[in-house]
């Protein structure tokens, strides 16, 4: 009868992948917290109303709902 030695290796690749994902989440979370503005966003611009130019006046007058020039 021969005795065999079975070596069960530690899954280093799986641990490395999990550690890399965890490090990415930690770095992303810390950068998101750092970059986040500390105060409320203030709008500095406003919308101004559009002003139509006044129509050119003519010398015609209205008589009985008709324009007379």
| pLDDT tens figures, 1-18 | 677 888 888 899 999 999
pLDDT digits (tens, 9 = 90+) for 14-43: 999 999 999 999 999 888 877 766 656 666
Q: Determine the Cα–Cα distance for residues 19 and 7; give it in Å rounded to an integer.
A: 24
CB distance 58 to 69 below 8 Å = yes
Please give the Cα distance from 24 to 41 (Å, whole number): 28
pTM over 0.85: no
Q: 37-44 contacts: CB < 8 A, separation 24 or more? A: none
When mean pLDDT is compared across 16-20, 47-51, 54-58, the lowest value belongs to 54-58
């Amino acid at each position: 009868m021969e005795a065999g030695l079975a070596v069960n290796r530690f899954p280093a690749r799986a641990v490395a992948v999990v550690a890399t994902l965890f490090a990415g989440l930690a770095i992303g979370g810390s950068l998101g917290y750092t970059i986040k503005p500390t105060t409320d966003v203030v709008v500095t611009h406003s919308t101004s109303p559009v002003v139509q130019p006044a129509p050119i006046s003519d010398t015609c007058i209205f008589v009985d709902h008709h324009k007379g020039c």
